[in-house]
Amino acid sequence: MSHSDLQIEFLHRLTINSRHVLKYENTQLQSKAKACVPLSDLLARAQQNCPSNSKSDSKILRDALLIELLTWFKESFFTWFDTAHCSTCNKSMQSVGSGVPSADDLRYGAHRVENFKCNLCSATDRFPRYNDPEKLLQTRRGRCGEWANCFTLICRALKYDVRYVLDWTDHVWTEVYSERLNRWLHCDSCEAACDKPLLYDVGWGKKLNYVIAFSKDEVQDVTWRYTRNHAEVIKRRNLVSEEWLLQQTNRLSRQLQSSVSDSQRELMTLRLVGELAEFLLPRKVKEGEEQGRTSGAVSWRQTRGEMGMFQQEHKPVIWTPSEAEMTNGEFCLEYSASLDKYVRRSDGDSVTDKWSNGAYQAKSIFRKTESDWKMAYLARAEGSSEACLSWKFDLSSTNLVILQATVSCPGTTYEDGEICWKICGSDHCQLLENGCVDYEVDLSGSKWCVLSVEMSRGRGANAWQHTQIARQSTKELDHFPLSLRIFFGSLD
């Protein structure tokens, strides 16, 4: 393709998307989108997650609401489309290429239609790739383009300043402006990820070149927010010249701002200055940005090379007795997958968020939530053949020893999946039955103990999902099925 052809194609994408985002300003459409959101419930959750001394701060509450909105959108509202499903045979259909869009498809921006056929009964189905956000409020399914399109509309309906962000290497997401932080926040509804801009560069391993943000007021090149090595990125930006791209984004921004007031233009200028200054700062990898892609079928992600470059090294957590536990001679830890929290019953019901923050060892483990079945559990990382997880309690710094342990080991298997539980003390180990409840183990004399579980086997592409730990309904908020209870004292 010639240089001029590349410019024409690039400009076409810039222009089309700069017009597309203006759909989000339709007040009637915003009302329809807002009506889909359980706003009172999300606000209540947001207030619960705000610091007690900040509940009256509207800016903090708005940011907390954004997090709840992302979670709700991914887990309850929108669904990912991998392939059509045959309801008669209860099997996935096979792709049989592209179809011709109907007049109704074109009405809602679906210029592409994917066709599917069942290999068993020859039933057919089609998947129009709708680009109309109003239609997506009805269908509530798609891939990243549909997800970002609909989520951006919903954010705008809740009066957030938003951007629709297009990655030239084939991904789409949203940016939302935080009045509290005075900067744009990366929001990927497919991943329920907020403020993790290096997710694609570090976690997915994408070789980004152009990342352009579109809003009702501007078109902005935001590539530098999403990359670390700017020198390497510059080498990949060979479709158009930097000068030409800046001219075009500035020209489109001026068009969009032609009717704004002087005060609005001044505000946008201040935001832009702050953003450009942010781009100049060195970027450090934050927690959560090392994770590979979670949306879409494993085979699809593997084909795209987005499973992740590496898994973050787990930092071991070792539980030791508190003063209260030393006095009472008991340690009791419980875990709920629905809440993803530990409760330390023996220490005033203190809470530790996230499964990894209580684990001693962890390999190829993640927490899975099923939005359709409303279930949550710990599982093997998608695509992995085996995984292990353990918890450790240690009395080595005291003059006390373990007397007895009581454990509950909840595990669920499907197909030929295997779960193997084990508890070890200083001088011996004992295998535990999967699913045991309040099982007593004699560990007398041990200075420490480790409860561990290994998961393996399973069948087919979803083998990783055939071994599940602490599976429970997401509505179970007061049940903590996994427990480790240890009694200790002096042997004298």
Q: Let me know if 436 is a catalytic residue.
A: no
Q: Residue 239, exposed/middle/buried by CB under 10 A (0-12, 13-18, 19+)?
A: middle
Q: b or e along 369-391 (b: 16 or more beta carbons within 10 Å of the residue's beta carbon)?
A: beeeeebbbbbbbbbbebbbbbb
Q: To which H or E segment does residue 151 belong?
A: helix 144-157
Catalytic residue among 86, 144, 150, 155: 144
Catalytic residue among 132, 188, 195, 347: 188
At 151, phi and psi to the nearest 5? -65, -40
C-alpha 275/C-alpha 218 separation (Å) is 13
Look up residue 83 and give its two tokens.
């392939």
C-alpha 447/C-alpha 146 separation (Å) is 55
C-alpha 377/C-alpha 386 separation (Å) is 16
Torsion angle of the four alpha carbons 441, 444, 449, 455, in this order, in degrees rounded to the nearest 10? -30
C-alpha 118/C-alpha 454 separation (Å) is 37
Q: Are 319 and 394 in contact, with CB atoms under 8 Å apart?
A: yes
Which is it for the CA torsion 74, 222, 210, 303, positive or negative?
Answer: negative
HSE-up of residue 314 (Cα within 13 Å, Cβ side): 20
Show Cβ contacts of residue 259 under 8 Å, excluding neighbours closer than 6 positions.
none
HSE-up of residue 429 (Cα within 13 Å, Cβ side): 10
Q: Across-strand partners of 128?
A: 113
C-alpha 274/C-alpha 266 separation (Å) is 13
C-alpha 316/C-alpha 356 separation (Å) is 9
Q: Let me know if 41 is a catalytic residue.
A: no
Catalytic residue among 105, 155, 171, 217: 171
Taking alpha carbons only, the member of 450, 464, 460, 470 closest to residue 393 is 450
User: How far out from the chain centre does Cα 292 lie?
Assistant: 10
Taking alpha carbons only, the member of 137, 179, 129 closest to residue 154 is 137
Q: To which H or E segment does residue 486 belong?
A: strand 482-489
Q: Residue 112, exposed/middle/buried by CB under 10 A (0-12, 13-18, 19+)?
A: middle
Which is it for the CA torsion 103, 105, 109, 110, positive or negative?
Answer: negative
Q: Let me know if 36 is a catalytic residue.
A: no
Active site residues: 144, 171, 188
